[in-house]
Structure 1
Protein backbone atom coordinates (compact mmCIF):
# COMPACT_ATOMS: atom_id res chain seq x y z
CA UNK A 1 0.00 0.00 0.00
CA UNK A 2 1.56 3.28 -1.06
CA UNK A 3 1.39 6.48 0.94
CA UNK A 4 -0.75 9.09 -0.70
CA UNK A 5 -0.15 12.80 -0.50
CA UNK A 6 -2.60 14.68 1.66
CA UNK A 7 -3.91 17.84 0.02
CA UNK A 8 -7.03 19.99 0.04
CA UNK A 9 -8.76 17.55 -2.27
CA UNK A 10 -8.44 14.41 -0.11
CA UNK A 11 -7.66 15.59 3.44
CA UNK A 12 -10.46 15.17 5.95
CA UNK A 13 -9.46 18.41 7.66
CA UNK A 14 -8.05 20.70 4.95
CA UNK A 15 -7.89 23.71 7.31
CA UNK A 16 -4.71 22.42 9.00
CA UNK A 17 -1.89 24.84 8.35
CA UNK A 18 1.54 23.76 7.22
CA UNK A 19 3.06 25.69 10.13
CA UNK A 20 0.97 23.78 12.68
CA UNK A 21 1.91 20.43 11.20
CA UNK A 22 5.58 21.38 10.92
CA UNK A 23 5.57 22.48 14.56
CA UNK A 24 3.96 19.24 15.70
CA UNK A 25 6.44 17.23 13.61
CA UNK A 26 9.39 19.06 15.17
CA UNK A 27 7.97 18.70 18.68
CA UNK A 28 7.30 14.98 18.29
CA UNK A 29 10.77 14.25 16.93
CA UNK A 30 12.58 16.44 19.48
CA UNK A 31 10.81 15.05 22.57
CA UNK A 32 13.47 12.93 24.32
CA UNK A 33 10.95 11.81 26.93
CA UNK A 34 9.18 9.84 24.21
CA UNK A 35 12.45 8.09 23.38
CA UNK A 36 12.87 7.09 27.03
CA UNK A 37 9.24 6.01 27.28
CA UNK A 38 9.62 3.83 24.17
CA UNK A 39 12.65 2.16 25.79
CA UNK A 40 10.61 1.40 28.92
CA UNK A 41 7.75 0.01 26.85
CA UNK A 42 10.25 -2.08 24.89
CA UNK A 43 11.67 -3.59 28.09
CA UNK A 44 8.20 -4.31 29.51
CA UNK A 45 6.66 -5.48 26.23
CA UNK A 46 8.02 -9.00 26.58
CA UNK A 47 5.35 -11.16 28.24
CA UNK A 48 7.80 -12.94 30.55
CA UNK A 49 9.39 -9.68 31.73
CA UNK A 50 5.98 -8.14 32.32
CA UNK A 51 4.94 -11.21 34.31
CA UNK A 52 8.20 -10.96 36.28
CA UNK A 53 7.41 -7.36 37.15
CA UNK A 54 3.95 -8.44 38.24
CA UNK A 55 5.15 -11.25 40.53
CA UNK A 56 7.92 -9.05 41.93
CA UNK A 57 5.28 -6.46 42.75
CA UNK A 58 3.05 -9.10 44.38
CA UNK A 59 5.89 -10.78 46.31
CA UNK A 60 7.90 -7.70 47.24
CA UNK A 61 11.18 -9.32 46.29
CA UNK A 62 12.38 -12.63 44.87
CA UNK A 63 15.67 -14.21 43.89
CA UNK A 64 16.59 -15.63 40.48
CA UNK A 65 15.90 -19.22 41.56
CA UNK A 66 12.41 -18.24 42.78
CA UNK A 67 11.64 -16.63 39.42
CA UNK A 68 13.06 -19.65 37.57
CA UNK A 69 10.72 -21.91 39.56
CA UNK A 70 7.70 -19.69 38.99
CA UNK A 71 8.21 -19.37 35.23
CA UNK A 72 9.71 -22.82 34.71
CA UNK A 73 12.67 -21.43 32.80
CA UNK A 74 16.41 -21.64 33.42
CA UNK A 75 18.22 -19.33 35.80
CA UNK A 76 20.32 -17.89 32.93
CA UNK A 77 17.08 -17.01 31.09
CA UNK A 78 15.75 -15.28 34.20
CA UNK A 79 19.05 -13.41 34.56
CA UNK A 80 18.88 -12.19 30.96
CA UNK A 81 15.35 -10.85 31.51
CA UNK A 82 16.38 -9.21 34.79
CA UNK A 83 19.39 -7.62 33.08
CA UNK A 84 17.08 -5.87 30.61
CA UNK A 85 14.78 -4.75 33.42
CA UNK A 86 17.77 -3.53 35.48
CA UNK A 87 19.16 -1.57 32.51
CA UNK A 88 15.92 0.40 32.38
CA UNK A 89 15.82 0.74 36.21
CA UNK A 90 12.52 -1.14 36.37
CA UNK A 91 13.92 -3.52 38.99
CA UNK A 92 16.49 -3.07 41.72
CA UNK A 93 18.73 -5.62 43.39
CA UNK A 94 19.66 -6.25 47.02
CA UNK A 95 22.42 -8.65 48.01
CA UNK A 96 22.11 -10.83 51.10
CA UNK A 97 25.26 -12.97 51.41
CA UNK A 98 25.34 -15.10 48.22
CA UNK A 99 21.77 -14.34 47.15
CA UNK A 100 20.58 -11.34 45.18
CA UNK A 101 16.96 -10.35 45.65
CA UNK A 102 15.08 -8.33 43.03
CA UNK A 103 12.15 -5.97 43.49
CA UNK A 104 10.28 -3.42 41.41
CA UNK A 105 12.10 -0.07 41.46
CA UNK A 106 9.49 2.33 42.78
CA UNK A 107 11.81 5.30 42.12
CA UNK A 108 11.08 4.79 38.42
CA UNK A 109 7.91 6.57 37.23
CA UNK A 110 7.22 3.97 34.54
CA UNK A 111 7.54 1.14 37.08
CA UNK A 112 5.14 3.00 39.40
CA UNK A 113 2.68 3.30 36.52
CA UNK A 114 2.90 -0.45 35.91
CA UNK A 115 2.37 -1.17 39.61
CA UNK A 116 -0.69 1.07 39.59
CA UNK A 117 -1.98 -0.79 36.54
CA UNK A 118 -1.34 -4.14 38.27
CA UNK A 119 -3.24 -2.96 41.34
CA UNK A 120 -6.15 -1.58 39.34
CA UNK A 121 -6.24 -4.72 37.22
CA UNK A 122 -6.41 -6.90 40.31
CA UNK A 123 -9.37 -4.90 41.61
CA UNK A 124 -11.26 -4.54 38.34
CA UNK A 125 -10.36 -7.88 36.79
CA UNK A 126 -9.18 -6.10 33.65
CA UNK A 127 -9.40 -8.18 30.52
CA UNK A 128 -8.34 -7.44 26.99
CA UNK A 129 -10.29 -8.54 23.98
CA UNK A 130 -7.54 -9.53 21.56
CA UNK A 131 -10.04 -10.44 18.85
CA UNK A 132 -11.95 -7.25 17.97
CA UNK A 133 -14.40 -9.13 15.74
CA UNK A 134 -15.80 -10.84 18.86
CA UNK A 135 -17.00 -7.52 20.28
CA UNK A 136 -19.55 -7.13 17.46
CA UNK A 137 -21.59 -10.09 18.74
Structure 2
Protein backbone atom coordinates (compact mmCIF):
# COMPACT_ATOMS: atom_id res chain seq x y z
CA UNK A 1 0.00 0.00 0.00
CA UNK A 2 1.37 3.43 -0.92
CA UNK A 3 2.19 5.81 1.91
CA UNK A 4 0.36 9.15 1.86
CA UNK A 5 1.65 12.53 3.03
CA UNK A 6 -1.47 13.33 5.05
CA UNK A 7 -0.31 11.60 8.26
CA UNK A 8 2.41 12.36 10.77
CA UNK A 9 5.61 10.42 10.29
CA UNK A 10 5.93 9.93 14.08
CA UNK A 11 3.41 9.57 16.92
CA UNK A 12 3.72 12.60 19.18
CA UNK A 13 1.11 14.80 20.90
CA UNK A 14 0.82 17.86 23.13
CA UNK A 15 -0.64 16.56 26.45
CA UNK A 16 -1.74 20.03 27.59
CA UNK A 17 -3.59 20.77 24.36
CA UNK A 18 -5.13 17.30 24.26
CA UNK A 19 -6.42 17.59 27.85
CA UNK A 20 -7.87 21.08 27.23
CA UNK A 21 -9.69 20.11 24.03
CA UNK A 22 -10.77 16.72 25.42
CA UNK A 23 -12.46 18.54 28.30
CA UNK A 24 -14.35 20.81 25.89
CA UNK A 25 -15.33 17.94 23.57
CA UNK A 26 -16.61 16.02 26.57
CA UNK A 27 -19.01 18.85 27.39
CA UNK A 28 -20.55 19.04 23.91
CA UNK A 29 -23.90 17.38 23.29
CA UNK A 30 -22.74 15.79 20.04
CA UNK A 31 -25.83 13.61 19.70
CA UNK A 32 -28.17 16.60 19.76
CA UNK A 33 -25.94 18.63 17.45
CA UNK A 34 -25.68 15.77 14.95
CA UNK A 35 -29.49 15.54 14.87
CA UNK A 36 -29.68 19.23 13.95
CA UNK A 37 -27.14 18.67 11.17
CA UNK A 38 -29.21 15.76 9.85
CA UNK A 39 -32.30 17.98 9.73
CA UNK A 40 -30.38 20.68 7.84
CA UNK A 41 -28.57 18.20 5.56
CA UNK A 42 -31.28 18.53 2.92
CA UNK A 43 -30.63 21.52 0.66
CA UNK A 44 -34.27 22.62 0.58
CA UNK A 45 -34.64 22.45 4.37
CA UNK A 46 -31.43 24.41 4.77
CA UNK A 47 -32.74 27.10 2.42
CA UNK A 48 -36.10 27.21 4.23
CA UNK A 49 -34.34 27.63 7.57
CA UNK A 50 -31.95 30.20 6.15
CA UNK A 51 -34.82 32.23 4.65
CA UNK A 52 -36.55 32.19 8.04
CA UNK A 53 -33.35 33.32 9.74
CA UNK A 54 -33.11 36.26 7.32
CA UNK A 55 -36.74 37.38 7.48
CA UNK A 56 -37.84 36.11 10.88
CA UNK A 57 -41.32 35.01 9.84
CA UNK A 58 -42.66 33.80 6.49
CA UNK A 59 -45.73 31.97 5.27
CA UNK A 60 -45.43 28.78 3.22
CA UNK A 61 -46.44 30.62 0.04
CA UNK A 62 -43.64 33.16 0.55
CA UNK A 63 -41.15 30.33 1.07
CA UNK A 64 -42.34 28.49 -2.06
CA UNK A 65 -41.81 31.64 -4.13
CA UNK A 66 -38.43 32.39 -2.55
CA UNK A 67 -37.20 28.86 -3.33
CA UNK A 68 -38.94 28.61 -6.70
CA UNK A 69 -40.76 25.42 -5.74
CA UNK A 70 -44.29 24.26 -4.99
CA UNK A 71 -46.14 24.88 -1.76
CA UNK A 72 -46.46 21.08 -1.41
CA UNK A 73 -42.67 20.71 -1.44
CA UNK A 74 -42.22 23.52 1.08
CA UNK A 75 -44.98 22.08 3.29
CA UNK A 76 -43.23 18.70 3.30
CA UNK A 77 -39.94 20.26 4.44
CA UNK A 78 -41.65 22.54 6.96
CA UNK A 79 -43.36 19.49 8.46
CA UNK A 80 -39.98 17.79 8.94
CA UNK A 81 -38.50 20.97 10.44
CA UNK A 82 -41.52 21.33 12.73
CA UNK A 83 -41.33 17.68 13.90
CA UNK A 84 -37.64 18.21 14.71
CA UNK A 85 -38.51 21.28 16.76
CA UNK A 86 -36.68 23.64 14.41
CA UNK A 87 -39.67 25.80 13.47
CA UNK A 88 -42.90 26.91 15.05
CA UNK A 89 -45.99 28.26 13.33
CA UNK A 90 -48.99 30.44 13.96
CA UNK A 91 -52.21 30.64 12.01
CA UNK A 92 -53.64 34.00 10.99
CA UNK A 93 -56.95 33.44 9.23
CA UNK A 94 -56.18 31.27 6.20
CA UNK A 95 -52.41 31.87 6.35
CA UNK A 96 -49.82 29.96 8.37
CA UNK A 97 -46.62 31.78 9.34
CA UNK A 98 -43.40 29.99 10.31
CA UNK A 99 -40.47 31.11 12.46
CA UNK A 100 -37.32 29.41 13.69
CA UNK A 101 -37.90 27.85 17.09
CA UNK A 102 -34.65 28.75 18.78
CA UNK A 103 -31.08 29.87 18.65
CA UNK A 104 -29.60 26.43 17.93
CA UNK A 105 -30.63 26.48 14.28
CA UNK A 106 -29.72 30.15 13.86
CA UNK A 107 -26.29 29.38 15.29
CA UNK A 108 -25.77 26.50 12.85
CA UNK A 109 -26.91 28.63 9.92
CA UNK A 110 -24.51 31.44 10.83
CA UNK A 111 -21.60 29.73 9.13
CA UNK A 112 -22.82 30.25 5.57
CA UNK A 113 -23.33 33.86 4.65
CA UNK A 114 -24.26 34.91 1.09
CA UNK A 115 -21.20 35.65 -1.00
CA UNK A 116 -18.89 33.48 1.09
CA UNK A 117 -16.67 31.26 -0.98
CA UNK A 118 -18.11 27.79 -0.67
CA UNK A 119 -15.81 24.81 -1.01
CA UNK A 120 -17.63 21.62 -1.88
CA UNK A 121 -16.85 18.69 0.38
CA UNK A 122 -14.90 15.87 -1.18
CA UNK A 123 -17.42 13.23 -0.15
* TM bracket (short chain): 0.5 to 0.7
Bigger share in helix: 1
Gaps of 5+ in 1: 1-10, 16-23, 133-137
Corresponding residue of 1:130: 120
Query: Is 2:88 the counterpart of 1:92?
Result: yes
- Does the 8 A contact of 2:86 with 2:101 survive in 1? yes
Greater Rg, structure 1 or structure 2? 1
- Does the 8 A contact of 2:53 with 2:106 survive in 1? no
Query: Is 2:42 the counterpart of 1:46?
Result: yes
CA distance in 1 between partners of 2:121 and 2:38 (Å): 23
CA distance in 1 between partners of 2:38 and 2:121 (Å): 23
CA distance in 1 between partners of 2:90 and 2:74 (Å): 16
Higher RCO (C-alpha under 8 Å, 6+ residues apart): 2
Query: Is 2:69 the counterpart of 1:73?
Result: yes
CA distance in 2 between partners of 1:73 and 1:83 (Å): 16
Q: Equivalent residues in 2 for 1:20-59 (5 A)? A: 33-59=29-55
RMSD, aligned CA? 3.0
Runs of 4+ in 1 over 6 A off after TM superposition: none
Q: What is the CA-CA distance between 1:14 and the residue it aligns to?
A: 8.6
